[in-house]
Amino acid sequence: LERDGRKRLTGRVEIDDAYLGGERSGGKRGRGAPGKTPFIAAVETTPEGKPVRLKLRRVAGFTGQAISRFALRSLDPSCAVLSDGLACFGHVSDAGCAHEVIRTGSGPAAARSPAFKWVNTALGNIKSALTGTYRAISSKHVPRYLAEFEYRFNRRYDLASMIPRLNWAAAHTPPMPYRLLKLAEIAG
């Protein structure tokens, strides 16, 4: 999370909102359902439209302030951001990014929009990977779950170097007491 947090996305970036967790049955569905944790997915693509890197960040909510903070930390001012028109995404311009809106509506048809192919593919893969790996998704650990997926995605073309990189990081990381390791991150 810390290592990838310093790197900003550049070029064309697809951005979307998503949720993890929540009631499985009997509760309210959709936005605002109890237990759901909001997060942002942003995918940098090549001019040919291939995915390069991914940013996944938990947010307190889908507000202009939260998106502005995300954009200032995660997006290079030269980015051309493509969003589905959720009002808060207009705040990527606070980081100097160009913003294009493509209204897709809602539901399954919106998820198949070719303009958002890679961010929607990434979201589907993230949710499948997390629900297939973890018995339950704890809101306080969502940043760690997302960071793990982001780390693997951003290094998918150099899998052989992952173990040596992990060894280097382990050898150069100062000791940390268990009580600090298990603390949850604060929503940004």
| Residues 131-185 pLDDT 10s | 888 777 778 888 888 988 898 898 888 888 888 888 988 898 888 888 877 776 6
3-state SS, 157-172, equals CCHHHHHHHHHHHHHH
Strand partners, 101: 83
The 10s digit of each residue's pLDDT in 7-51 is: 899 999 999 998 887 666 666 666 666 678 899 999 999 988 899
Inter-CA distances, 78 with 16, 46, 65, 96, Å: 19, 14, 20, 7
Listed by start position, the domains of the chain span 2-181
Separation between Cα atoms, residue 35 and residue 154, nearest integer Å? 28
C-alpha to C-alpha distance for 175 and 188, rounded to whole angstroms: 25
* The total number of residues written for the chain in this structure: 188
Residue 120: pLDDT band with limits 50, 70, 90? confident
The alpha carbon dihedral of 92, 88, 155, 141 has a sign of: positive
**Is residue 97 within 8 Å of residue 80, measured between CB atoms?**
yes
pTM, full prediction: 0.82
Domain 2-181 has CATH 3.30.70.980: no
What is the Cα–Cα distance from 13 to 76, expressed in whole angstroms?
10
